Chains A and B, each alone.
Chain A
Amino acid sequence: MDIMLAVLAIVGIVGYVFLFLGTAEPRHRHGNLFLAIVASTLIVMVIAGLFIQWPIEFAWQKVTAFYAIFGFCAFTFLIYAAKGLRLWLSKDEDYYKKKGV
């Protein structure tokens, strides 16, 4: 079991690093291969989640691949929220200087 978990963790790290390599611009000549590896790590995680006994501390943990959905939605929400806040909070770099502060 421990070895399985270690393998899964390494797969996760591989997915993390290859996402960077595959998304960097100008595109790496193996960019598509890198992204295919990332996609397969996602699938591995969802499948791995199907085979284990989840603790039920909260009702929502019964949902299949709950944390995958949560991670995706949370990230998207944060970016959209930040985009909205940018209109309100972001100012020119010399904002305070112009205000004479």
Chain B
Amino acid sequence: MHPGLILIIGALLVPLFKGKWRKAYLIIPPLAALIDVILMYTGVFGEIPFSAWHLPFLDYELVFGRVDKLSFLFALAFTLASVPVMIYSLHVKSSTEHMSQLVYAGSALGIVFAGDLISLYFFWEIMSIASLLVIWHGATDKAHSAGLRYIMWHVAGGITLLAGIVMYIAATGTIAFNAIGWGSGSTLLPSLLIFIGFILNAGVPPLHAWLPDAYPESTVTGSVYLSIFTTKSAVYVLARSFAGFGPLMWLGAIMVVYPIFYAVLENNLRRVLSYSLINQVGFMLCGIGMGIPLSLNGATAHAFAHIIYKSLLFMSVGSVIYRTGTAKITELGGLYKSMPLTTVFCLVGAASISAFPLFSGFTTKAMIVQASALGGLAIIYVLLQLASAGVFEHAGIKVPFFTFFGHDSGLRVKDPPLNMLLGMGIMAFLCIFIGLYPYPLYQLLPYPVVFEAYTAPHVIETLQLLLFASFAFFLLIKSGIYPPERNTISLDTDWPLRLAGGKFIWFVKGPLTSFSTWMDSHVKRIAADFTAYGEEKEERVFIGVSVMLALLFLAFYLIVQLAYGWIFTS
């Protein structure tokens, strides 16, 4: 059975269970999906031949289950992460929140296994709606408006993708979802549209503003789900269809650097992590764009490791929000004494994302950096290393330091409930496991791996870079140069859109409404005149009105005639 379907049907059954039974039940769908994925073997399953149903309109064959090494790895990462995330969110009482999260996870699996563009689009849109519901469960005004902006971005992306898909199918005659690349002639525009649709979901600047806008506004558990699926399913589709696409490499290189500055400035921990998420996806896209086996292996392995450590970071920050009610750095600090376990889990996530040796990021990111060195891509190499220092700054130092150490805020809150600790514990274990023993993961990668992470130069290079970066942090913070946290937001690429949107709403509410009120009153007056006429009070109807009406009808008739003639003769 399709693992995505297990999650979606599982979601529909959630309201049937109450209390303790619900907690017991909730763990079943993700666990069943994980077992389902593990037991899978490669091949193509779940074809639905519309032709056999004699539907000439859709003379195609949909493929819901294309299982190969690439789709298997992403499906495994999604389902493997879903289990601890579900354990982490067991305390949540809202059944609709669980349902939307499970459907969201299920639709991501649908994308990963889609073998054709139509079923891909189908799950793509389910994912948009499900993730919107996950955001709206934040149930604040901010969450509501951020969700609206989020869905506007994704509807725009979805329509672009749909237009691209339709044109692509028309141009090539096939709906199969395989390598697309840079088209030529009649496939140039469709491939470009599909590319834009994909990179919008991956969060490539300047199409990324929805991500740091909406992700921090969801619930504690919702943010964890959001951090996993949308961007990584986009990484998957890009790896499938645009591997070795040069512009993608450069977009990835911009993407690793651009969000760093925002992450340094942000005051909201979840927003810092959102920018850091964009930065990490940049590494993956850069690897996909390079298109050599080592970099593609690196991109997929890094996506796998990233899903684990990023959700761990969102979980630990979520635990802090759960206990303190705030994610603002200006209000936090010194929590390590009262939240020791959360601190340790956050540090494991931070060390993993910073690619410290013995942690997961080290064994995966290195492949991408190494690929750029082997390819002699000096600028890309320097940008990736610069970004490594940047990741360390915001995710490795800023998040754990200002939350758990830094300046003592006086807050003395306990570690979160057992289920949340257990969820984080499993994720932390996976981070360390992939760091210490990456070979099972390497075996699952799309190409044979000839790569060893633990070489003396690589270990020492990484440690020198990270430790001296932290030395710079120490000097900067002690000398007061490090920018002090302030309660601010940072303007991003959605700034012109949001201002223009605001102006549009002002226009609708202000001038347009006054105009329509004015029109209404006049129409009413004219209507009153007609009524008067109907009531045989002819003296109130001027002859002019009748003549004007006759002229208007005549003019209308002429316009219709002319337009009709013009359309059907040209």
Give A residues with C-beta under 8 Å from B.
Answer: 1-2, 4-6, 8-13, 15-17, 19-21, 23-26, 35, 38, 41-42, 45-46, 48-49, 52-55, 57-58, 65, 67-83, 85-86, 89-93, 95-96, 99-101
Contact = CB atoms under 8 A, between A and B. Distances in A.
Interface string B177-217: 00000000000000000000000000000000000000000
Given A10-B358, A90-B489, A78 B260 contact: yes
A45 B490 contact: no
- Max chain B C-beta neighbours (<10 A), residue from A68, A76, A78: A78
B265 A82 contact: yes
B381 interface: yes
Interface residues on B, range: 35 or more
B472 A71 contact: yes
Contacts of A5: 357, 454, 456, 459
A92 B501 CA distance: 20
**Interface residues of A, dominant DSSP:** helix
**Interface residues of B, dominant DSSP:** helix
Contacts of B456: 1, 4-5, 52-53
Given A45-B463, A74-B386, A101 B470 contact: no
B60 to A, nearest CB: 44
A24 B408 contact: yes
A57 B404 CA distance: 40
B390 interface: yes
Given A20-B400, A82-B261, A99-B499, A71 B466 contact: yes
Given A72-B469, A89-B490, 9 more contacts: A5-B357, A5-B454, A20-B336, A38-B474, A45-B460, A67-B464, A83-B481, A99-B499, A100-B502
B457 A8 contact: no
A83 B483 contact: yes
A32 to B, nearest CB: 13
B469 A71 contact: yes
Given A5-B454, A76-B476, A16 B405 contact: no
- Max chain A C-beta neighbours (<10 A), residue from B393, B468, B490: B468
Given A42-B471, A68-B465, A23 B405 contact: yes
Given A58-B373, A82-B265, A90-B489, A8 B460 contact: yes
6 closest cross-chain pairs (CB), A and B: A101-B502, A71-B465, A9-B357, A82-B264, A74-B389, A24-B405
A9 B358 contact: yes
Interface of B: 260-262, 264-265, 334, 336, 347, 351, 356-358, 373-374, 376, 378, 381, 385-386, 389-390, 392-393, 396, 400-401, 404-408, 454, 456-457, 459-474, 476-478, 481-483, 486-491, 498-499, 501-502, 505-506
A9 B454 CA distance: 10
Contacts of B265: 82, 85-86, 89-90
A24 B457 contact: no
A90 B243 CA distance: 37
Contact of A52 (B460, B471, B476): B460
Contacts of A72: 468-469, 471-472
Given A16-B351, A58-B381, A91 B461 contact: no
Given A5-B459, A75-B473, A90-B489, A20 B401 contact: yes
B385 A74 contact: yes
A44 B389 CA distance: 20
- Max chain B C-beta neighbours (<10 A), residue from A15, A25, A67, A69: A67
- Max chain B C-beta neighbours (<10 A), residue from A58, A77, A101: A101
A95 B486 CA distance: 14
B488 A91 contact: yes
A12 B473 contact: no
